[in-house]
Structure 1
């Protein structure tokens, strides 16, 4: 009697498919419960009507239309409507913070990856960069107040040195302080992915570029930057998505005087205008997804990783 062949005991493709589904089921359940269902609820509430006393579960586009009311024409002063002005303000902060964090994050990551030779020192300096994350965002923001305030250390130093006659007002509760706080809070989100991409670069490529006569800047632009584009893209997605929806930083560092989409949603929620806030959230999500889609067209993240 012949011995059974190995193929007779091999599991069928259907068994492999069932095992794969069971392995993915917990992650799919978490994704469904904490992402898809909440998004569906927000989209559903955005179509409800409301008054001063109650939510009315009736499908209507009133909330979306009210957000863009008057946006088809300029105001008497030649300005855009409130919603478009708010989005432009948010985009302005987003672009400024993205550019500064990219410059600072790339520089720090480049120094750690290519100028610090000791792995132990690399780890120590990298951990040092994470020290601010050991405290909450609010505490880190508030720490700027005694420095940038009218009677803060910076103004005292400027007046003491005779550089200004009176305290500088725009250091705190201004666009400057908002951008400064954003850069302080979120630069690490740019450093980590760029540093990870740079550590994967084959150092022989840098030597080959040097042997071919390339200068340091040419090697940086033609070798390091292209091979770090995955980290740059991931860091950009992190920073842009966080800044677009942030309302705490703008509220604290802007002195509750600077508008943003996240701030408007927070105010509408505090006044129990949940359908209007949900409509704003859906539009914000659509805008952020379009930005991410445009960024991912530049680099295929799945292929690069």
Structure 2
């Protein structure tokens, strides 16, 4: 049985703990409220609207599965691939290509900044140089490619003037190549930052030990740096995958409105005020992206590594 002095001594400690818990809740309250208002509530509303009916004139708040049935209409056929699968395949193809290119570029640039630039000042300067394109809008950066890649653009004029081609190259603009190029230009930085952050945490003595053991440069990269940088690789991959899968502006501008993507379908449906259909497509896209993120997070425990 606790004595009276023990009870008196424990009471201030208990009150202090309760005070700390209340303080922690109050500190987390603004972020929690913002998360609920700007993420959870819109997501729930989108889910609810995806089950509503609609016609040419109005949205009818009545439960229906018609919107989801329309998405997968014809997908049960083994001979003809439905429009939905073709569109998702096109989007996924862009996603994989852009992810691979940005990973190679991001890893190479991060490697150069982390291990070949010796002074922190120069690392900071070069890192800030990488951020300069983000001082302008994505649209402006996309449009800046048009005078270069167009039929009468600088690249084609140079190729024709150097007699490397007989006529202007048509696939430089409004093509899959142009879309991938714009994606890489816009989103490589999202791969550089987390990988560079992960590389800066690597103990340099490990690399010196690998060199002393006779490891080549590629062996050091493959067996030492890459495993220790995998957290940054996964985080950068999540950024790139989620952005590319939902993008519609880049595909529309650089593809000349001729290339299909899931984001473009949602944007078109929204422009025609077909909000329930757009919400259903958005929920399907969200489910696929979440599965991709889940697969990436299985490769490394991000919370443990951070």
Shorter-normalised TM-score: what interval? Answer: over 0.9
Query: Partners in 2 of 1:118 and 1:25 — Cα distance?
Result: 41
Unaligned runs of 5+ in 2: none
* 1:37 equivalent in structure 2: 41
Cα deviations across residues 54-98 of structure 1 (Å, max 9, x unaligned)?
110001101000110010004xxx441000000000000000000
Determine whether 1:9 maps to 2:12: yes
Determine whether 1:26 maps to 2:27: no
Query: Partners in 2 of 1:161 and 1:147 — Cα distance?
Result: 16
* 1:133 equivalent in structure 2: 134
Determine whether 1:59 maps to 2:63: yes
* 2:292 equivalent in structure 1: 291
Query: Partners in 2 of 1:165 and 1:241 — Cα distance?
Result: 40
Query: Partners in 1 of 2:127 and 2:8 — Cα distance?
Result: 55
Query: Partners in 2 of 1:118 and 1:254 — Cα distance?
Result: 42
* 1:155 equivalent in structure 2: 156
Query: Partners in 1 of 2:165 and 2:228 — Cα distance?
Result: 46
Q: Which sits farther off after the overlay, 7-16 or 177-186?
A: 7-16
TM-score (norm: length of structure 2): 0.96
| 1:10 match: secondary structure | helix
* 1:172 equivalent in structure 2: 173
* 1:258 equivalent in structure 2: 259
Query: Partners in 2 of 1:32 and 1:302 — Cα distance?
Result: 22
Query: Partners in 1 of 2:10 and 2:52 — Cα distance?
Result: 59
Cα deviations across residues 152-210 of structure 1 (Å, max 9, x unaligned)?
00000111111110000000000000000000000000000000000000001111111
* 2:53 equivalent in structure 1: 49
Unaligned runs of 5+ in 1: none
Deviation at 1:23, TM superposition (A): 1.8
* 2:200 equivalent in structure 1: 199
Q: How many residues align?
A: 301
Please provide the CA RMSD for this pair.
1.5
Query: Partners in 1 of 2:122 and 2:231 — Cα distance?
Result: 25
TM-score (norm: length of structure 1): 0.96
* 2:101 equivalent in structure 1: 100
| 1:170 match: secondary structure | helix
Deviation at 1:49, TM superposition (A): 0.3
Determine whether 1:80 maps to 2:84: no
Deviation at 1:19, TM superposition (A): 2.5
| 2:287 match: secondary structure | helix
Deviation at 1:17, TM superposition (A): 2.8
Deviation at 1:5, TM superposition (A): 7.6
Cα deviations across residues 127-167 of structure 1 (Å, max 9, x unaligned)?
01111111000000000000000000000011111111000
Query: Partners in 2 of 1:140 and 1:275 — Cα distance?
Result: 33
| 1:53 match: secondary structure | coil
| 1:187 match: secondary structure | helix
